[in-house]
């Protein structure tokens, strides 16, 4: 079951399984990853390297870098990535974590 | 390396119109954009989405198909998902696509990189659940994702557009917390003739407000003392309006008080910028056809000063005509003939701006945030810290980097640069022009070593990543 999310999806799309910190999530295939994670109830995407403060997507257009997640070992902007089956996503957990 | 007559960065209305115009006159054009499909901000993903959500997004959105249809022609190589991170000597353009670095070269470059949301540092704006209103709109446009319990905060026509779109989608915002005052509207009255020339915009504004009112979305105007509260995420917004302190519980806060030119690429090339008092931001100094002080570099669209999508499209064409003439594809006469009506149309489009800029000024509390407010999201630097740097003799944003890490995070000052300039200018009693802006150097976006190592063979041809 999807956790309650502050966001809802207008259309139903075929879903694929993505791993978020090892936990399976069913997300719409081809969707924007940041949007799909928000709709799945994920609010915090990362913790900041400076103070460990929680962050989530802010601009959705590749400019703010608050949606950074680690995908296959590379830190990327979730709002610039599309959902594909088997994607392994990890939330950078802040202080000391290597970001870009 | 593949060489083109013209490289265009950005496939929004300005870039798409310019590409089409230039190709019409026989130029070989490469159109680079980091998005997966053409459209820019206003027409984001229009080819895929128009049929799905065109009714919610409105005819001004679906109209974008006119432009996307124009770039699927010979002479235009549209490279999608191309994140441009450097434009260097001889106009070698470096970008990342599919995790690999790649390069193209061009005789001339048109920067059509559009606008960014004006930074809106208010207490609590870094909490998860707080986004730009543009981000909320991108969620709806691109993904059909809507916030169930959102409050829209700030000012400007785009705030109403997004509210109206949310109403049409069946999830109206909980409230509009607007920062402009009646006095702003009265002041804007001075520009009413200009506004009347752009009467169709006024009419659209009135219609959107009617939609919002019909849906019984409460509007609070002249809001001050705005604070977003929450433990680890946005939970409520507090503000004062009409002399009353208010609190609205919500999950999502969408902030907006105007958009500002995205000047990163132009600055990295040494394009001169000046402070615009009317728009409270830096704009590149351009001649009538988008030419800059750097020979061969042109700018069109909102990246050259905010004037909206229609103006962007026209400015793109005007710049392309100029490039076609410089490249010897058009005589001066032929260019003049084509450009004259476009210049008149551009002036008409711009006529509504002074009214809008005065009626919906940026939120004062966000232009000069309280000391405790974080202004640099990446490095978590507060407004008070920047003011204290000024007290220690710091005159400009670049010097500020010596005091703290402001502007040195991955966003490269996109969401703090204007605030840093404003705070230093205010504290030092100097103008924004005297204070200056961050020096921008490539890479414009972070590049990984892996992407560099995978730099494609310089002799490889760039593939046309577009759908057409
Ligand atoms: C989030 C947002 C939403 C908006 N929504 C609306 C709306 O609904 N209606 C409206 O009238 N106006 C809207 N605007 C205002 C908008 O600026 C103009 O209406 C219009 O889109 C400007 O057109 P443009 O061609 O100048 O730039 P844009 O349409 O912004 O296009 C610029 C393009 O450049 C690309 N780009 C930028 N930097 C790089 C880089 N380094 N590498 C590769 N590509 C790059 C971007 O991906 C983008 O596609 C919005 C603005 C923003 C910021
Ligand atoms: S949300 Fe801003 S870069 Fe992704």
Q: Are A35 and B145 in contact (CB under 8 A)?
A: yes
Tell me the per-residue pLDDT of B442-454, one tens digit each, with 9 for 90 and over: 999 988 888 888 8
| Atom nearest to B133 CA in ligand 1 | 1
Specify if B458 maps to a domain: no
> Mean pLDDT, to the nearest integer, of A9-18?
94
User: Is A86 within 8 Å of A18 (Cβ atoms)?
Assistant: yes
- Note whether B309 and B259 are within 8 A (CB): no
* Consecutive H or E run containing B150: strand B150-154
* B225 and B145 housed in the same domain: yes
pLDDT at A61 over 90: yes
pLDDT, mean over chain B: 95
> What confidence score (pLDDT) does residue B370 get?
98
Q: What is the CATH number of the domain that holds B403?
A: 1.10.10.1100
Structure confidence at residue A78 (pLDDT): 97
Whether B244 and B134 map to the same domain: the answer is yes
**CA dist., res. A66 & res. A68, Å (int):** 6
Q: What distance in Å separates residue A99's CA from the closest CA in chain B?
A: 9
Query: Closest ligand to A79 CA?
Result: 2
**Residue A68 is part of which domain span?**
15-90
Contacts 24+ apart (CB under 8 A), A21-26: A21/A89, A21/A90, A21/A91
Residue B93 has what pLDDT? 98
Cβ-proximal residues to B162 (8 Å cutoff; 6+ apart), any chain: B133, B136, B137, B152, B254, B256
Confidence (pLDDT) at B347: 94
Q: pLDDT tens digits, residue range B245-287? A: 999 999 999 999 999 999 999 999 999 999 999 999 999 999 9
3-state SS assignment for residue B409: coil
User: What is the percentage of chain B residues whose pLDDT exceeds 90?
Assistant: 86
- Tell me what the mean pLDDT of segment B49-64 comes to: 96
* Per-residue model confidence as pLDDT tens digits over A62-71: 999 999 999 9
> Among the three residues B330, B349, B384, which one is the final residue of a domain in this structure?
B330
Same structural domain, B102 and B172? no
Average confidence (pLDDT) over B16-29: 98
Mean pLDDT of B390-401: 93
The dihedral built from the CA positions of residue B250, B252, B258 and B264, taken in this order, carries a sign that is positive
Buried b (16+ CB within 10 A) or exposed e, B93-128: bbbbbeeebbbbbbbbbbbbbbbbbbbbbbbbbbbb
Q: Would you place residue A96 in the very low, low, confident or very high pLDDT band (cuts 50, 70, 90)? A: very low
Interchain CB contact of A83 with B (< 8 Å)? no
Question: Do B164 and B232 fall into the same domain?
Answer: yes
Tokens matching residue A3: 């956790």
With CB atoms and an 8 Å threshold, state whether A60 touches B232.
Answer: no
pTM confidence score: 0.96
**Which of A8, A36, A45 is the closest to B148 by Cβ?**
A8
Q: Which atom of ligand 2 is nearest to the CA of A58?
A: 1
The CATH number assigned to the domain holding A62 equals 3.10.20.30
pLDDT at A94: 61
Where does ligand 2 bind, in terms of residues with CB under 6 Å? A 34, 57-60, 62-67, 77, 79
Contact call for residues B44 and B142 (beta carbons, < 8 A): yes
What is the torsional sign of CA B144, B146, B152, B154? negative
Residues B252, B264 within the same domain = no
- pLDDT at residue B451, as a whole number: 86
With beta carbons less than 8 A apart as the criterion, state whether B324 and B317 touch.
no
Residue B190: predicted pLDDT? 84
**Alpha helix (H) ranges present in B215-331?**
264-268, 309-326
Distance CA A36, CA A29 (A): 9
Rounded to whole angstroms, how far apart are CA atoms B112 and B315?
10
Q: Which range of residues forms the domain containing residue B219?
A: 119-257
In chain A, residues with a C-beta closer than 8 Å to the C-beta of B377 are 55, 58, 64, 66
pLDDT digit string, tens, across residues B199-213: 777 788 889 999 999
Peptide bond into B333 cis (omega under 30): no
Q: Examine the fold and report which residue of B220, B242, B257 is the final residue of a domain before the chain moves on.
A: B257
> Which of these three, B204, B238, B257, is where a domain ends?
B257
Distance CA B151, CA A23 (A): 31
For residues B221-238, give the mean pLDDT: 97
Name the helix (H) or strand (E) containing B186: helix B182-188
Q: Are strands B130-132 and B252-256 parallel, antiparallel or unpaired?
A: parallel
């Amino acid at each position: 079951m999807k956790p309650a999310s502050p966001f809802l999806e207008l259309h139903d799309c075929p879903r694929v399984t993505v791993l978020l910190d090892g936990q399976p999530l069913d997300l719409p295939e081809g969707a924007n990853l940041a949007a799909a994670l928000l709709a799945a109830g994920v609010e915090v995407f990362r913790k900041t390297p400076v103070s460990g403060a929680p962050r989530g997507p802010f601009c959705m257009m590749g400019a703010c870098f608050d949606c950074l997640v680690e995908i296959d070992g590379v830190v990327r902007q979730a709002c610039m990535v599309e959902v594909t089956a088997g994607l392994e996503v990890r939330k950078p957990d802040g202080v000391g974590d290597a970001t870009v | 390396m593949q060489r083109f007559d013209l490289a265009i960065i950005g496939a929004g209305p300005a870039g798409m119109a310019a590409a089409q115009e230039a190709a019409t006159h026989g130029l070989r054009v490469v159109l680079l954009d980091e998005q997966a499909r053409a459209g820019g901000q206003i027409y984001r993903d229009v080819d895929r989405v128009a049929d799905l959500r065109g009714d919610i997004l409105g005819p001004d959105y679906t109209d974008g198909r006119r432009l996307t249809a124009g770039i699927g022609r010979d002479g235009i190589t549209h490279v999608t998902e191309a994140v441009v991170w450097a434009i260097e000597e001889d106009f070698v353009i470096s970008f990342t696509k599919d995790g690999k670095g790649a390069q193209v070269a061009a005789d001339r470059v048109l920067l059509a990189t559009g606008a960014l949301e004006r930074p809106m540092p208010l207490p609590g704006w870094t909490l998860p659940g707080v986004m730009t209103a543009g981000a909320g709109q991108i969620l709806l446009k691109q993904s059909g994702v809507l916030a169930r319990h959102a409050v829209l905060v700030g000012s400007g026509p785009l705030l109403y557009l997004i509210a109206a779109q949310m109403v049409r989608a069946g999830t109206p915002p909980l409230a509009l917390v607007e920062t402009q005052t009646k006095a702003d509207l009265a002041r804007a009255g001075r520009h009413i003739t200009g506004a009347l020339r752009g009467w169709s915009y006024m009419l659209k504004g009135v219609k959107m407000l009617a939609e919002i009112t019909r849906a019984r979305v409460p509007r609070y105007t002249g809001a001050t003392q705005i604070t977003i509260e929450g433990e680890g995420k946005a939970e409520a917004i507090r503000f004062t309006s009409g002399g009353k302190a208010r609190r609205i519980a919500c999950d999502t806060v969408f902030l907006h008080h105007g958009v500002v030119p995205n000047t990163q690429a132009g600055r990295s090339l040494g394009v001169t910028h000046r402070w615009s008092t009317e728009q409270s931001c830096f704009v590149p100094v351009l001649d009538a056809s988008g030419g800059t002080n750097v020979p061969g570099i042109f700018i069109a669209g909102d990246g050259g000063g905010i004037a909206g999508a229609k103006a962007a499209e026209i400015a793109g064409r005007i710049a392309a005509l100029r490039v076609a003439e410089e490249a010897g594809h058009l005589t001066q006469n032929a260019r003049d003939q084509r450009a004259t009506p476009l210049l008149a149309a551009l002036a008409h489009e711009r006529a509504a701006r002074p009214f809008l800029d005065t009626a919906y000024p940026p939120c004062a509390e966000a232009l000069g945030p309280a000391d405790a407010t974080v202004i640099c999201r990446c490095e978590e630097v507060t407004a008070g810290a920047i003011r204290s740097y000024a007290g220690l003799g710091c005159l400009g944003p670049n010097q500020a980097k010596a005091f703290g890490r402001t502007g040195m995070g991955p966003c490269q000052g996109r969401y703090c640069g204007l605030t840093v300039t404003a705070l230093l200018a205010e504290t030092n009693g100097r103008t924004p022009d005297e204070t200056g802006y961050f020096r921008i150097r490539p890479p414009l976006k972070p590049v990984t070593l892996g992407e560099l190592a995978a730099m494609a063979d310089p002799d490889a041809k760039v593939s046309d990543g577009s759908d057409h």
